[in-house]
Structure formats: structure tokens, C-alpha cells
Amino acid sequence: MNNKIMGITAGRKNSNSEILLKEALLQCQKQGAEIRLVNLRDYHIEDCIGCTTCTKGMSQGKNVGCVLDAKDDKKKIMQAMLAADGVIFSAPTYDLIVCATFLRFAQRSLSYETSFLETIGAIPHKDRVAALIAVGGSTRSWMSMSLESMQAAMFTTDMKVIDMYLATRIPAPAQCLLHDDMIARAGLVGSHIIKAVRTSAKSRTWLGDKDMGWCPNCHSNALVLGEPQWDGLHFPVECQVCGAGGTLEQMENGKWKFVIQDNGLSRDRTTVSGRAKHLEEIKCTQGGFFADSENMKIVREKLKKYANLKIKGIE
């Protein structure tokens, strides 16, 4: 049976993000895969309205889906995406992070949280792989959170990222076509996806650029100072993307590296078990709030001040 590889882009038609994605998909097709391409700009995706219906259901052990699924194309795209063996995403960057078109799609995915749905038996487990291509007009300095913001969308649907490519300094439409090395690197993304899906899940490894990023776990380039989490767990330094915890250590050559502690992957967002810890947090913080009638009473009373406050806007 042919591998099914899906490409999802938030880029403009026939411009850099779509071109690089198509090149990656062509390499997959050359190796016998069945390919499919979705440009999010061709579909209607509603913004997440923050109603918390899906997480309320999760805190009660129920799969309630998303209240917007009947109003747009999100569910249709998700059903095809979750049936694929591998997915390649591409998106442009306009200012530090990827564009709103990608983020709008990504932020509607919480109701598809696989660690929850698998736990309650709503869906079977499926090992998926993903690769990311971020495109921008400047150097990494102005694309500093591009790949990281894309990575953040991979956790809920249990996508193991095996390669990432940051295509820089191509601000004009289709400018990537002047750079044969960019086209070749995009093709390599496709080859890496095929290699990954044809490797057993337990044996899959990072196939992208060696030593990419600060974090040896997810290869992101974003670290933050740690702070106590909801249950008191604390690491001096954390990976902003996968949540790995550890410290910075200086090597003999004077350079610094991020060293993950022994329990530093206990909240690893790239794993089902790690994300399940967040579901515990949701159950404690949100579930606890709605279960406490006295808290609800206090909030309803105090809310009157703000609900009745009318402030003039613009015309």
C-alpha cells in the first residue's frame, strides 16, 4: 500500500511557501507515495472563540468536539490530515512568527487532542510524522519564532517532527526559484518524510540538520527561564516548545549547551504521556473552577461591573 503524504500550506498561490512544499511533495511522489495538497487560503476556517467547550468536555472525560465544526472546513481538513502517514507544513513569516492563516488553523486543533481521545478509546493510536518549512524575507533574526510557532501546532495531533527548514531572505513572490539550493533542501524534506514513514515508530529519529537548535529533544531554538508549574515542578531552564527541563552548562570550548535533567522530559509535549500531564492540569484548574459553585457565584457577581460597563469604541 502506498504511503499517504499530505501537504498543508498557508502561503500564497504559486509563491515561495507553496513552491517549496510542492517540491517536497514531488520527491515523495517519486518514491511511490500518494500525495495531496491543501492550501488553507482556499478554505474557510473560523477563529477559535475560546468557548472552552472542548476542554470542559475533556475535564469530564467526554469527547464533545468543536462547536464550530459545522460552520467551516476545519473538520474536513483534519479528517484527511489525520488519515495521512506524514504531513508537510509550510507557511510564510511576516514578523517573527508564522502568518495568521496558519495560526488560525492550528489553534482550532485542541478538540482533536489525541492523548485525550486515545485515552477514552474514541480513536485508535496512529504514529504520524511531520516536517516544517518556514519562509521569510529576512534572516533568522526576523524569523526567530517561525519554526517554533509551527512546532507548537504539532503536539495536539501527535505529529513527530523529523525535519525543519527555515528558508530565509526570499521576500518577493516565487523568489526561491532563484536558489537551487533551496529547492534541493525542500526536496530533501520530502525524502526525509518518506524515510521516516517507512521506518518503525520506535526507530524514527531526527533527520534534519545536525545539531539544529538549542534543544536536543525537539531541536527548537527557544529557551526560557523556568518557573514553578501548576503542581510545583520546577526546572531552572525550559525549552519553550517541547517543555523539556534542564540547565545550561558551559563546555570546554567556552560554548554553552542545554542539558536536560533526568526527569526533564516528564512533561515532554511531543509524547502522549507528556501531554496527558497537561490534561491533568486542565482537569484541576478548569474542572475545579466549574465544580465549585461558590467560585461561580463570586465570579457572576463581580462580572456585573464589567458586563455593564460601556466604553465608546471607534466609528
Mean per-residue pLDDT over the chain, rounded: 94
Higher pLDDT, 56 or 167: 167
pLDDT for the residue 120: 80
Q: What is the pLDDT of residues 126-150, one digit of tens each?
A: 889 999 999 999 999 999 999 999 9
Place of cell 471607534: 314
Question: What CATH code would you report for 4-203?
Answer: 3.40.50.360
Residue 219: C-alpha distances to residues 4, 36, 132, 213, 250 (Å): 25, 27, 12, 5, 19
Which residues in the chain are classed under CATH 3.40.50.360? 4-203
Please tell me the predicted confidence (pLDDT) of residue 280.
85
Q: Which residue has the cell 517507512?
A: 198
Q: Considering just the CA atoms, what is the radius of gyration of the chain in Å?
A: 21
- pLDDT for 172-185, tens place per residue? 999 999 999 999 99
> With contact defined as beta carbons under 8 Å apart, do 136 and 142 qualify?
yes
pLDDT classification of 1: cutoffs 50, 70, 90: low
What pLDDT shows up at residue 199? Answer: 97
State the pLDDT confidence band at 254, using cuts at 50, 70 and 90.
very high
